[in-house]
Structures are given as structure tokens and as C-alpha cells.
Amino acid sequence: MLRALDSIERLLDAGKTAEALRAAEALQRSVPDDALAAEMLGRARMAARCEPGPTADAYAVAADLRMDSPGLQSAAGITAAAAGRLDEALRRQRRAGELEPGNPQHALQCANLLRALGQQQEALTCAQRAAVLAPLDPSVQLSLSQSLAATGDLPHARAAALRALEASPRDVLLRTAVANALVAQGDAAQAVAVIQTEADRQTASAATLECLANAQTAAGLHTLAATTWQRLASAPMASWQPCLKAAECLHRANQSDQAMDWLSRARERGAPASATRTLDDALTATRTGDAPNKSAK
């Protein structure tokens, strides 16, 4: 048994995921009531990028066999959440928290799941518990910010979001998440300030640029937002969506001719009529004087 597990581990380390998966499946069939075999099958399925459901199923078997393991309960919860089984995921994370109450990650996972399930007050309680256990963890502060915003406490939500950023200022993914949270909380100007420097880099990711464009749009900076969408549209293999977004921003900025040009580019890249119809009608009305654009920055 241990030799088989070690063999599968070596296959995973070597990147031989297909072989590892076959071996893990065979091992689990031979010892269906062994938690280690079930966990290894889950790991192999994850490494092989199998569908989330079967991966979650393997971890669920392992967790059911080891109800006293906080690690397995949490892993089963995370994979269940990835499969869209949020109630099951929450049950697992709560069990992990009961077994290991001093671990802030269990409270954090519960907060995120409860928020997704619409149970905002309970989510806030879990986020606050996580923040007590790990006040300097940026992911905890971000979750706390999101829960505070969901319960209407926007000033404290903004403060928590900025604390998350202070805790890990060089984390680009976190910076993007904080900016998106600030936009959702109605503080678009602060969101632009948070993400602008990162977006100005030549190597900025599409996610960072999209975050900036959305923040600029929410802040009423439509010409700047159009420029950011145009930058996204210039990337190799870019789809029609950035072109259409640029056109929409230009329309809001009273630049109808340029908006028409970018709308045409969106169509050239395959934008369906259902996606372009609203803007097309608005531009037609503007050109005939039926519906002048609102002023925009």
C-alpha cells in the first residue's frame, strides 16, 4: 500500500499525470475504504485536470473515512466548492473549523462560502473571526472587506480593503482583487488609484487592464477607459469584446465617429448583432439628433 502510494507520488512529481491517474484509480479500486488511497486519487485527478465533480468525489470519500482530519475536511470543502457544491463545501469547512478552531483559513473559507450563499451576516461573523486569528493576512482582510460591504458598512469595508493591500503591496492578483472590491463598493476613484501603476507596466496582464478599464468607467473617465480597452483589443488573438467596450466608452465620451469605428472593428471580429444592437441604435439616434449623448469626462 505505502509502496503504491510512493510510486504514484513519484509519477506526479515527474509530471506523468496520466500514468499517476491510472495507478491511483487502480489503487482506490483495490482498497476502497482507505482514506489515503482516496486522497491520492483526488490529487491525481486534480493534477490531470479532471472535471471538478470527480475530483470532489474522491476527496469526499477520503474525508468521510477520516472525519477527524481537518486537512481532509478542508480539502474536500475546497474541491466541493470548485464543483459548485456550496452547501457540501460549507459543511466540510465548518467541520474543519471545529477540529482546528485556531486555523484562520477555515473561518475564511466559511466566510467566502456563506457570502456566496447569500448569508451575509453569518459570513461577516466568520470573516471577523478569521481577522482576529490572522489580522495581517491580506486574503482575510479582503474577505472581511467584501463581507462588510455586503452588510452595508462601506467605510469599514474600504479600510479593510486598503489594509489587505498594505499587507502585501507587491501582490498583483491581490491588488486587482482589492481594486475590483473598491469598484463594487462604489469607490471607483480609489480603485483607479490602486490599480493604475500596475496597469501602466508594459507587462500588465489582461485581468489588470480590464480591472482598470472597469474602474475608469465606474469613475466616469470614459475616454481613459476607452484607451485601456483599446490596449486590450490590440493584444494578439483578442476577441471582439474589448472593441465593443471601447466603442461604448467612446460613445459615453461624445466621440461618436470613433465609437462607430470601434463598433465596426467589433463586428469584424465576430461580435453578434445581439451584442451590438443597443450601441448601434444609440449611435444612430445620436447621429440623427434624436438622443444626444450625456457629457462625460
- Residue 196 pLDDT grade (very low, low, confident, very high; cuts 50, 70, 90): very high
Q: In the predicted model, is pLDDT for residue 295 greater than 90?
A: no
Read off the pLDDT of residues 257-275 as tens digits, 9 standing for 90 and up. 999 999 999 999 999 999 9
Q: Is the pTM of this model over 0.85?
A: no
What average pLDDT does the segment 108-133 reach? 98
For the chain, the average pLDDT equals: 94
Residues in the chain: 297
Calpha distance 176→211 (Å, rounded): 7
| pLDDT at residue 221 in the model | 97
What average pLDDT does the segment 279-283 reach? 93
Would you kindly state where each structural domain of the chain is located, as residue ranges?
A: 1-101, 220-297
Q: In the predicted model, is pLDDT for residue 296 greater than 50?
A: no
| pLDDT at residue 47 in the model | 96
What lies within 8 Å, CB to CB, of 60 at 6+ separation is 76, 79, 80, 88
Percent above pLDDT 70 for the chain: 97
Read off the pLDDT of residues 39-92 as tens digits, 9 standing for 90 and up. 999 999 999 999 999 999 999 999 999 999 999 999 999 999 999 999 999 999
What average pLDDT does the segment 112-125 reach? 98
Calpha distance 53→72 (Å, rounded): 16
As assigned by CATH, the class of the 1-101 domain is mainly alpha
Read off the pLDDT of residues 240-254 as tens digits, 9 standing for 90 and up. 999 999 999 999 999
- Cβ-in-10-Å burial (0-12, 13-18, 19+) of 98 comes to exposed
Q: In the predicted model, is pLDDT for residue 294 greater than 50?
A: no
| pLDDT at residue 163 in the model | 95
Residue with cell 486555523: 103
